[in-house]
Structure 1
Amino acid sequence: MRIAIASDHAAFDLKARLVETLQSWGHEVLDLGPADDGRVDYPDFGYKLAEAVGDGRAERGVALCGSGIGISIAVNRHPACRCALVSDPYAAALAREHNDANVLAMGARLIGPDMAAACLQTFLVAEFAGGRHAGRVDKLSAPSLEKSA
């Protein structure tokens, strides 16, 4: 699978570890930066990641920042992305199974590298359950919130 990954400076070290982990699992990794741990703005890298997933350069994405909150908000601004912020493997499984999430977000200051790898592994193997969840996921892509009422 081709997986895009991006972070801010606070999550640079975790990103580097997860790039190595993904490669060791046999995945192709599109590392969208940053290239070092110098201060950067998470929206810039969240938008890059969202574009890569949205235009099909990557099948899934991994978004990282200090808390995971800011970058997940940035990614979710793209209509093709469903980014879920998780901190445990069960939440990662539900993000895929119930929400068809295509981007996983995690906070480097809130999760250790082993737990982050466990979340990522679960996220990559879990599949969307469809069924009763499909209609709900379709509403996430609706152009107006009025359609969900």
Structure 2
Amino acid sequence: MTTQSAADTTVEIATGVPATWDATGFAAQTWLNVGKIKNLGEFGKQFEVISNNYLSQRGTEKRKGTWNAGQLSMEVDLNGDTGQAMCETALDTDADYSFKVALQNGDAYYVRGLVTGFRTMTGGPNDMVRGSLQVELNPIFTTTAEVAAIKDPA
């Protein structure tokens, strides 16, 4: 991937489960755009570090433990579009939803997660009324491997 601006990045949400656990299955879902996103933050696999300290040595030994798929932390201007409305609906369920993050160069990341927060932020008189949207990502299980995101180059 070459360097690029985050401008033109979009996020979409879909209900249900993909027909297949690959980019084709995710792409076939019915997607709704989550509008007016100001900041998406970061997402991706992060490992826990297991630290071991022994009396017989001064240095700490470290190993990789389990990994966490991360989260999508979005700041949006509230506008009531269908994608934001679906996120509010998802907040009141325990179901995973599919999310698609599409970059300006056409690369897309398909992830699954739980909407765990959608809070209203008012700010000051020169601020838009915004929402803080949290999606905790779950790993996707396939028959061959566990993946946190499937990258689908367009």
Query: Which TM-score bucket, shorter chain as reference?
Result: under 0.3
* Greater fraction strand: 2
Question: What TM-score do the two structures reach when normalised by structure 1?
Answer: 0.25
Q: Which has the higher helix share?
A: 1
TM-score using structure 2 length: 0.24
**Larger Cα-atom Rg:** 2
